[in-house]
């Protein structure tokens, strides 16, 4: 990939790191900028219009910095804003998330498929279209999971409280003999070891990160390496490596969570910087000292 653009990735918080890590694994020479809008996390309980507004502001920020492609690493945001962003920015390639219903329905043996997602994901037209296209005669169990995003944001990946929540949400799926379980939120893969222990033996837990990363590589190959914003030679001041992370909340806690969730994915540690919401725009915090 040339030095005239980077892959922009964003989410309400740390969930999109599950997608980011797969993109970096498949495209090891890529430069990335990740935005976590932790000032507004979680998105899943917000209105679709509110999420759409946040997504448009974040997109503008990434484009202003020189993004060549933007990955909406959030099922909630994709459901609320993917179509809108493609209409609003017709020259920008967007890759969004969608629950992996098609492969789950194709592979089920019991005829029962479970989907875990936020309430906002289930409300969006994207999910409704998937159900209409693929559900057929399959028994589809759609389970909203309030509280799980907050658990991952807090780093509570394997604690009693999180297990209680998961048992509540997974119980009906276990009883229905679900054999394909779709993770419809990018936060949930970080709970996969616990989820796998609580579902029936032989249940396939589907994480869409790998196919999303393949789609990013495909779009870049189809469009060439130059993106829509090639005017910045080093737009995000990336002195400490080829990956930069921004948060609209506390830098130190986000840095700690990246280290917890990504472990050895970043040899030199995460380069995390603050963002500030100023009415309807995002700006790098003017009080941030880059020499820290």
pLDDT at 232: 40
Structure tokens at 190: 């970080």
- Distance from C-alpha of 62 to C-alpha of 70, rounded to nearest angstrom: 8
Q: Residue 207's Cα: distance from chain center in Å? A: 11
165 contacts 195 by C-beta, under 8 angstroms: no
Please tell me the least confidently modeled range out of 31-35, 99-103, 238-242: 238-242
pLDDT score of 238 more than 70? no
pLDDT at 14: 98
Q: Residue 176's Cα: distance from chain center in Å? A: 28
User: What SS3 class is residue 255?
Assistant: helix
Task: Strands of 153-280 (E only): list them.
Answer: 180-183, 204-206, 243-247, 272-278
pLDDT score of 174 more than 80? yes
pLDDT at 240: 37
Tell me the mean pLDDT in the region 57-73.
97
Tell me the mean pLDDT in the region 29-49.
94
- Distance from C-alpha of 235 to C-alpha of 139, rounded to nearest angstrom: 49
Of 124, 169, 108, 163, the closest CA to residue 142 belongs to 169
Of 203, 209, 122, 137, the closest CA to residue 170 belongs to 203
DSSP of 132-145: HHH-TT-EEEEEE-
Tell me the mean pLDDT in the region 171-181.
97
pLDDT at 266: 74
pLDDT score of 285 more than 80? no
Please tell me the least confidently modeled range out of 107-111, 239-243, 284-288: 239-243
Query: What integer best gives the mean pLDDT of the chain?
Result: 89
Tell me the mean pLDDT in the region 100-127.
92
Give the pLDDT confidence of 239-282 residue by residue, as tens digits.
334 899 999 999 999 999 999 999 766 767 799 999 999 988 99
**What's the 3-state SS for 24-67?**
HHHCCCCCEEEEECCCCCCCCCCCHHHHHHHHHHHHHHHHHHCE
Give the pLDDT confidence of 179-199 residue by residue, as tens digits.
999 999 999 999 999 999 999
pLDDT at 279: 83
Using the CB atoms, write b or e for 281-292: b if 16+ within 10 Å: ebebeeeeeeee
pLDDT score of 228 more than 50? no
């Amino acid at each position: 990939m040339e030095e005239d653009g980077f892959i922009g990735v964003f989410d309400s918080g740390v969930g999109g790191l599950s997608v980011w890590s797969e993109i970096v694994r498949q495209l090891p020479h890529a430069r990335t900028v990740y935005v976590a809008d932790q000032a507004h996390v979680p998105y899943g309980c917000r209105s679709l219009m509110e999420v759409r507004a946040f997504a448009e502001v974040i997109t503008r920020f990434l484009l202003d910095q020189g993004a060549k492609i933007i990955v909406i690493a959030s099922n909630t945001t994709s459901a609320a804003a993917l179509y809108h962003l493609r209409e609003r920015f017709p020259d920008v390639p967007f890759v969004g998330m969608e629950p992996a219903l098609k492969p789950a329905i194709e592979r089920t043996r019991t005829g029962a498929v479970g989907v875990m997602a936020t309430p906002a994901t289930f409300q969006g037209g994207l999910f409704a279209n998937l159900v209409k296209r693929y559900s057929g005669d399959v028994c589809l169990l759609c389970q909203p999971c309030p509280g799980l995003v907050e658990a991952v944001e807090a780093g509570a990946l394997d604690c009693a409280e999180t297990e209680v929540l998961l048992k509540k949400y997974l119980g009906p799926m276990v009883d229905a003999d679900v054999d394909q379980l779709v993770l419809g939120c990018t936060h949930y893969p970080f709970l996969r070891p616990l989820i796998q222990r609580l579902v029936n033996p032989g249940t396939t837990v589907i994480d869409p990160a790998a196919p999303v990363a393949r789609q990013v590589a495909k779009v870049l190959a189809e469009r060439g390496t130059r993106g829509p914003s090639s005017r910045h030679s080093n737009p995000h001041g990336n002195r400490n490596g080829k990956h930069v992370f921004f948060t609209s909340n506390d830098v130190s806690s986000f840095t700690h969570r990246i280290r917890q969730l990504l472990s050895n994915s970043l040899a030199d540690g995460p380069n995390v910087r603050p963002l500030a919401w100023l009415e309807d725009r995002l700006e790098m915090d003017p009080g941030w000292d880059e020499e820290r």
